[in-house]
Structure 1
Amino acid sequence: MILIFGASAFVSWRLRSKFNEYSQIGLSNGLSGAEVAQKMLNENGIYDVRVVSVEGMLTDHYNPEEKTVNLSADVYYGRSVAAAAVASHECGHAVQHKLAYAPLKFRSAMVPVLTVSSQYMQWILLAGVLLLRTTPIPLAIGVALFALTTLFSFVTLPVEFDASRRALAWIQTRGIVNQREYGFAKDALWWAAMTYVVAALGSLATLLYYASLLLGGRRSD
């Protein structure tokens, strides 16, 4: 667990470092992140998705329910390699939505269940650990709920990697970036993807920990 925590901290630091670095490199064509996003949406025949600015740093995301590409101010207004990379990545999710990309559909279907379960999961796990010598049922329920969270983390991986693949292919073929800028954009999106990989591994490690408590408690009965 300590190793996972350390890896997570390192990857998060590295992502912010890369984003800051590539935010200082101007995009040769002068487009802003918002303009890149709108162009990618239009060229993929997507006209019912709005590109909006949201507060925070690295808070960029695509909302399939509201059909919005939400870009942080640095990305929305920025005219840098980082802005182009992030904006096109989020639009990659909009393209997935339009094409009914299976992993995205599956992940979206899990959201309502996880939203409800996450409100109670930690309390159930705590109760399960405290009551383990009396009954394994609460911890078993907690482990089952946490397994859903872990599954969600791993389903997220192909969604994120595919969105980056679509983004990189589009910015390259449409001349949004030159060869040098393409390398920077690819590097930035790779580090962004690593945050999801570390999160998934961290979730798996935590799940295995609680599962080992459950199995250990049952053997001692």
Structure 2
Amino acid sequence: MFPFFYDPSFILIIPAILLAMYAQNKVQSTFNKYVQHGAKLGMTGAQLASDILRKQGMHDVKTELVGGHMTDHYDPRSKVLRLSYKIYHGTSLAALGIAAHEVGHAIQHDEGYALLSLRNMIVPLASIGSQAAFPLLFIGLLMGSQSLAGLGVVVFMFAVLFQLITLPVEYNASSRALDLLTAGNYISFEEEKPVKKVLDAAALTYVAATVMAVLQLLRLLMISGLLGRRND
């Protein structure tokens, strides 16, 4: 049996690593391109978010500025939509697209969108799974305990499940964003395609994360001996 750190199964996740690098480069280049394209509307991301929320009757959702780059997110616990500086104050097509995407999450929460509710429920388990899986697996291998190594694989499954659920949640939010922007006449027909490129590039990062999680699970199954391998 190969030592844990030199296990040849590592080759399984190389495609996921390459995809993640491509996705990160794609989202950065697309954002950098369209953050320079001012939208005809002239409304900032924060103004857009507030306007859509008002029209949706969601007066209890606040919009706040958050530090960092591309740290935009919706916090369902406090019902706060947090936008980074270039999105909050920006009037670009990228700013409107990302702001609308986060509003899409707020609407999902308000409507009780099932997959979002499920994702929020398993966040603690997914966090534990991502942190505890490798230590459990490593200790199990050192002790020659397949059951302990197997437990590491089981807890990692919650992290994989989180990623699998996150993917459709993010695509749904992007679909809602585009519908909100076009139906509300916030963007013109010519601006729809660039906004979609921004949203699609962002979604690709979640595709990469999902592929990584699934391939990592397959790798852990092989290392633990639960898939096609046996301890000597």
Q: TM-score range by the shorter chain?
A: over 0.9
**Aligned counterparts, 1:95-110, within 5 A:** 95-110=107-122
Match of residue 160, structure 1, among 170, 192, 198: 170
**2:230 — aligned with what?**
219
Structure 1 residue 122 displacement after superposition: 2.9
Match of residue 153, structure 2, among 140, 143, 147: 143
Q: Structure 2 length normalisation: TM-score?
A: 0.90
After TM superposition, the runs of 4+ consecutive aligned structure 1 residues lying more than 3 A away are 115-119
Structure 1 residue 181 displacement after superposition: 1.2
Q: Does 1:15 align with 2:27?
A: yes
Structure 1 residue 217 displacement after superposition: 8.4
Contact 1:4–1:198 (Cα < 8 Å) also in 2: yes
2:132 and 2:215 mapped to 1: Cα distance? 20
Contact 2:62–2:79 (Cα < 8 Å) also in 1: yes
1:69-123 residue CA offsets vs partner (Å, 9 max, x unmatched): 1111110000100000000000000000011000000000001223344443332
Question: Aligned pairs, how many?
Answer: 219
Q: Does 1:193 align with 2:185?
A: no
1:21-49 residue CA offsets vs partner (Å, 9 max, x unmatched): 00000010100000011111111111111
1:217 and 1:157 mapped to 2: Cα distance? 29
Q: Secondary structure at the match of 2:230?
A: helix
Contact 1:30–1:79 (Cα < 8 Å) also in 2: yes
Read off the aligned partner of 1:105 and give its amino acid letter.
S
1:124 and 1:3 mapped to 2: Cα distance? 25
Read off the aligned partner of 1:177 and give its amino acid letter.
I
1:7 and 1:118 mapped to 2: Cα distance? 20
**2:215 — aligned with what?**
205
1:216 and 1:135 mapped to 2: Cα distance? 15
**Aligned counterparts, 1:1-221, within 5 A:** 1-131=13-143, 134-214=144-224, 215=226, 219-220=230-231
* RMSD (Å) for aligned C-alpha atoms: 1.4
2:128 and 2:230 mapped to 1: Cα distance? 31
Instruction: State the identity %.
Output: 37
Contact 2:125–2:159 (Cα < 8 Å) also in 1: no
